[in-house]
Structure 1
């Protein structure tokens, strides 16, 4: 599967769009820090649209989608407060238009776009990057009727961080309201700090 074969629509999102992401509060060794994002180094290839020699950033259209995609996925058995305590929900805004490949209309005829066949979707991402696009927009596999974006470096440069909220209020057991709602709706049990 490649960009030419799929022939997906191309869209330009206007500036001023908001997106959300859950990430660690503190960077790990080797983390790439840019525009308020903490990203895995290039070449980790852990996500479905990661590039072999460039960093990529994954964001979601809502706080719920970001939480479902990162913390309360369908296969998740439980989450510990200790794990949530290490993370924050971030809100970003686009400072300029984004030129994206739109995979949303292709999710039904090409279910592999939402699958774990990441070698194929990563090959598609390489095609999109090589063609000069700033990223991709695609259906969330975890939150129906919602979207996620994967941004390449030029798309990442268009972001500005607006806000950051710890998932657990520091020095307490108080969860961010969005976390409570996402945990309840996902059915993923929350365990004490020392449980896993």
Structure 2
């Protein structure tokens, strides 16, 4: 399956779009730091639309979507407070227009786009970047009716970080309200690492 076969719609989002991401507070060795993002190095190929020779950034249309996609996925059985302490919720806006391939309308006729058959979706991402697109927008598999974006380097360059909120207030056990709400609605229990 390739871009030519699928014929997805192309969209151009105006500047000023808001996206969210959950990421570690501190970079791991080898992490690529750019525009407030901490990204895995090129070639890790862990995500559906990762590229072998360039970094990609995954973001979501809302804080809830970012939390469900990253920490409170359907298959998640629990989350620890220690794990949450290491992460933050970030808000970004776009400083310029984004040219994206829109896979949302194809999610129903092509379940492959929402699957874990990532060699095929990664090949599609390669077609997209070769065609000069800055990324893809696709249906969230974890939060129905919501969307995520995968941005390639040119799309990443259009981002500007606006806010960062630790998931757990430093020095306390106080969780960010959005985390409490996402945990409650997902049914994922939160486990304390230290004695109460």
Q: TM-score, normalised by structure 2?
A: 0.99
Instruction: Kindly indicate whether residue 5 of structure 2 is the aligned counterpart of residue 5 of structure 1.
Output: yes
In structure 2, how many angstroms separate the alpha carbons of the residues matched to 1:159 and 1:84? 25
| Shift, 1:128, TM fit | 0.2
| Shift, 1:193, TM fit | 1.7
The answer to whether the Cα contact below 8 Å between 1:93 and 1:162 also exists between their aligned partners in 2 is yes
Per-residue CA deviations over 1:98-153 (Å, capped at 9, x if unaligned) read 00000000000001101101000000000001111000000000000000000000
Unaligned runs of 5+ in 1: none
Unaligned runs of 5+ in 2: none
What does residue 162 of structure 1 align with? 162
The secondary structure found in structure 2 opposite 1:68 is: helix
Instruction: Kindly indicate whether residue 81 of structure 2 is the aligned counterpart of residue 58 of structure 1.
Output: no
Instruction: Kindly indicate whether residue 109 of structure 2 is the aligned counterpart of residue 109 of structure 1.
Output: yes
In structure 2, how many angstroms separate the alpha carbons of the residues matched to 1:99 and 1:33? 23
In structure 2, how many angstroms separate the alpha carbons of the residues matched to 1:181 and 1:130? 40
In structure 2, how many angstroms separate the alpha carbons of the residues matched to 1:116 and 1:142? 13
In structure 2, how many angstroms separate the alpha carbons of the residues matched to 1:50 and 1:169? 32
The secondary structure found in structure 2 opposite 1:170 is: coil
Per-residue CA deviations over 1:47-89 (Å, capped at 9, x if unaligned) read 0000000000000000000000000000000000000000000
Q: How many residues are matched?
A: 195
Instruction: Kindly indicate whether residue 18 of structure 2 is the aligned counterpart of residue 22 of structure 1.
Output: no
In structure 2, how many angstroms separate the alpha carbons of the residues matched to 1:142 and 1:4? 28
Per-residue CA deviations over 1:16-60 (Å, capped at 9, x if unaligned) read 000000000000000000000000000000000000000000000
